[in-house]
Amino acid sequence: MEEKIIEIAASIFEMDPRKLTIENSRDEIEKWDSLAHVMLIAEIEEQFGVSIPFEETGDIHQLKDFLRYVVK
């Protein structure tokens, strides 16, 4: 799970996945801008077949926050 999230994030941020960890947050990653945020949500929803409620999208700050939705 974690690896897949990192892989998805890395492709959106156009970064080397080895430079990302699940602990990374929006403040630390320059490429994690508002567009990247929306793209990330869209990609995670599709790849894992889950839905992240609109209200909670603003509460995602770290990559690990996605784990809440994908680990069921």
Partner 1 sequence: MKIGVYSNVNLDGLCRKVSSTFEDVQKGEGYGDWYFSLMRDGIKEDVAFIILDGFELFRNVSDVDSEFRNYIDIIEKIVSENKTKKVFVSTIDIWEDKIHSVKDFDISSMEMEYKWTKELERLNSQNDNFFIFDLKVMITSVGRKNFYSKKLWYLGGIKYTNSAENLIAEEIIRIVNTMEKARKKCIVLDLDNTLWGGVMADVGVENIELSEFKEGARYKDFQKRLKELKELGVLLAICSKNEEGYVDEVFEKNKEMVLKSEDFVAKKINWQPKSKNISDIAEELNIGLDSIVFIDDSPVEREEVRTNLPEVIVPEFPRDTSQLGDFIMDVYKEYFYTLAQTEEDKKKTKMYFDNVKREEEKKKSASLDEFLEKLDMKIHLWRMKPENLKRATQLVQKTNQFNLTTKRYTEEQLVDLMNDPSCDIFLARVEDKFGDNGTVFLLIEKKEGPKVVIDSMIMSCRVMGRFIEDRIISYLEDKWFEDGFEEIEGMYIKTDRNKPVEDLFERLGYDVVYKDENKKVYRLTKERKQKRKEIGELILE
Binding site for partner 1 (CB under 8 A): 11-12, 14, 34-35, 37-39, 41-43, 45-46, 54, 57
Q: How far is the CB of 16 from partner 1 (least distance, A)?
A: 14
Phi-psi domain of 71 (left: phi exceeds 0; alpha: psi -120 through 50; beta: other): beta
Contact 12, 39 (CB under 8 A): yes
Rg from Cα positions in the chain: 11
- Using the structure block, give the residue that is written with the tokens 């403040």: 27
CB of 46 to partner 1, least distance (A): 5
Least Å distance, CB 54 to partner 1, is: 6
Residue placing its CB nearer to partner 1 in the complex, 23 or 66: 66
